[in-house]
Amino acid sequence: MALKIKWNKKAIAQLDAGIQFIENDSIISAEKVKKDILLNIDALTKHPEKYNTDKYKTQNDATYRAFEIHQYRIAYRYKTTEIRIIRIRHTKMNPSKY
C-alpha cells in the first residue's frame, strides 16, 4: 500500500506565508521554492526514512523527521500508512520544541 501525504492545517498556512513572503521579491523564486519543497515532500512516499530524526522534537520515538531545503525546515511524522507534514519554518526563525 502506498503511503499517503497528509498536511496539518498549520503547515499549509506556514508554507503559504513563506511563499507569499518570497513573492514580494520574486514570483519566479517563490514558484521554484514551492515546487522544490513539494517535490521533496512527494518523494517521501518512496523513501520516508531518507532524512534524520527531528532533533527539535522532544520525546522523539524516531517517527518524527525533518529536512531542510531553500532555508526552510520541513518537519514530518512517518507512520506505516501515512506521512504527516507537521510544520514548515524558515531556518532563521528560532526553533521551538514540540
Position 2 scores a pLDDT of 80
Asked if residue 46 is part of any domain, the answer here is no
**CATH code for the domain in which residue 25 is found:** 3.30.2310.20
Examine residue 5 and state whether it is found in any structural domain, yes or no: no
For the chain, what is the mean pLDDT? 93
What average pLDDT does this structure show over 48-72?
94
Residue 62, domain extent = 11-41+51-90
Note the maximum CA span of the chain.
42
Q: Which residues contact 71 (CB under 8 A, 6 or more apart)?
A: 90, 91, 92
Residue 97 confidence class, pLDDT cut points 50, 70, 90:
low
Total domain count, the chain: 1
pLDDT score of 95: 66
17 located within any domain = yes
Confidence of residue 1 (pLDDT cuts 50, 70, 90): low
